[in-house]
A and B are shown apart, each in its own frame.
Chain A
């Protein structure tokens, strides 16, 4: 599942088709928030760029509603946006099927009302077993396994904590387990695919886009990730 910060460039929706053509199974669209406390420098910069362009969560969702991506779209944003009235309707009108809210843990989930939208929960290497079991039970669509104790951002290699967490999550859920945070290159994606059902790649894509990569170039990177996931050497 590749990620893009909605509104980061005027032509940002063109990346969605490029990602789908490159073999993305799902696409995560970040709705920009002023204080992205779970994100590292790259996605902070992307959010800031989107807001500076005048993008808002509502404008990003309105643009999505007018776009055909060809694969399911998952929105991600922060609790301050997700808890606002009318948010669920905006998501549905945009054709979004799932939602990730990284600062809304299990305990605060009761405050979120987005009927018709699957809310995927995050699991962390620090999550104890009993809590992990509840996350496995209550997550919808997939479980987002946070591979490392940190913020989003590129890292040199897949954290050792990733495989251990993926295995633990697999024990408590029948849903697909997607590994994210720090997965930056095809080789890491391949390693992640050996222990999980898929990967989420955000900062590595956004760094390319912030550096000027157009839809074709960013799509080629997604295609390389896809090829690594499908590679014959990978044990699924």
Chain B
């Protein structure tokens, strides 16, 4: 049996990316989704809200983040590599961009608390941080396996006052943490705000999270215009778990000739090897068996350890506007070490997947010699030091 039938005429519906997206939630969450969609539409059209967010992004989160040329890596690879430095944002990753937007929205909606899921813990840390900043208690669901491998981030969340709830079902990773966050949301839909960490979930989350992450792409576009003779890089590369840093990066270059490349983990490649399906509120591409059961993902990068992608990535793939590729655990580790030694920048293992693809593809038809390539470094590798100590061959 093949995967679910994708209705070709659904593109006109709100929250659809072609046939993907939608709002597949229990009836009890439909009013909550409507409330978030209405509040976001109002806030995004309100200069006061946009001003508050812009103020926090600059004075609190440290934006704009730099665009850093990588001269030694570029010379070694024969392509010009520019790094968009989300690793330098407050809390250590791009997650803060989205969370500040959603936490401001939660406050505008009068919600009392935040609920979130997290994989590597970066979204959890960002949510705990925004919760502390805005006085909103945060409850973060995290797979037990991720709690073990990201103990450092678990402690950071608790330090910031958040409650971390280990999820013991299924693969005990991001997929199950997301399921449990959604189950909990139903019980507290009146007072809690569900703060999704990626471009997944029911409408309006995939659109809203992309809009909050758009700042990455828009800054990078301006910075590239100042840095590159051609103004726009030939290639724009970002790692993809659910796909929020990629969605935000791509949004800034959608109207250019730049080729967009999303790099998934080999064991979590929803866009490359997934089939159409419905999970966590939207229709998208998911790794499934022949009976429609969603498979467990396997990646050394907890933030990429998810069997699907956000619906907009599924759409960009089908349209051919973006290309999706994979990188494996070992080459991601090697890429992290190589970037650290060539440029003095230790990327998160998630981000290192994007670097790994650039290293592998440079000089091939996929990324010809002499090209310019923008790589979004979605986060910093401090959280991964324990993993690197065990895995890296120095």
Residues of A within 8 A of B (CB): 33-38, 40, 44, 48, 51, 56-58, 78-81, 83-86, 102-108, 110-111, 121-128, 131, 135, 146, 149-151
Closest approach, in angstroms, between the C-beta of B202 and any C-beta of chain A? 9
- Chain B interface extent, by class: 35 or more
Q: A80-B292, A128-B31, A149-B28 are in contact. Are A108 and B189 (CB under 8 A)?
A: no
Q: Residue B165 at the A interface, CB < 8 A?
A: no
Contact of B278 among A80, A124, A125, A146 (CB under 8 A): A80
Closest approach, in angstroms, between the C-beta of B361 and any C-beta of chain A? 33
Closest A residue to B183 by CB, please name it.
A151
CB of B2 within 8 A of CB of A105, answer no
Q: Residue B243 at the A interface, CB < 8 A?
A: no
CB of A80 within 8 A of CB of B28, answer no
CB of B291 within 8 A of CB of A37, answer no
CB of A105 within 8 A of CB of B5, answer no
Query: With A and B bound together, what is the CA distance between A123 and B27 in angstroms?
Result: 6
Closest approach, in angstroms, between the C-beta of A40 and any C-beta of chain B? 7
Q: Of residues 1 to 30 in B, which have CB atoms within 8 Å of A's CB atoms?
A: 1-5, 7, 10, 22-30
Closest approach, in angstroms, between the C-beta of A86 and any C-beta of chain B? 6
CB of A35 within 8 A of CB of B31, answer no
* Residues from chain A with Cβ under 8 Å of B186 in the complex: 38, 149-151
Closest approach, in angstroms, between the C-beta of B123 and any C-beta of chain A? 19
Q: Residue B279 at the A interface, CB < 8 A?
A: yes
* Residues from chain B with Cβ under 8 Å of A86 in the complex: 1
CB of A56 within 8 A of CB of B27, answer no
* Residues from chain B with Cβ under 8 Å of A33 in the complex: 292-293
* Residues from chain A with Cβ under 8 Å of B137 in the complex: none
CB of A84 within 8 A of CB of B1, answer yes
* Residues from chain B with Cβ under 8 Å of A149 in the complex: 28, 186-187, 189-190
Query: With A and B bound together, what is the CA distance between A17 and B3 in angstroms?
Result: 33
Query: With A and B bound together, what is the CA distance between A3 and B97 in angstroms?
Result: 45
Contact of A40 among B175, B183, B277, B288 (CB under 8 A): B183
CB of B24 within 8 A of CB of A51, answer no
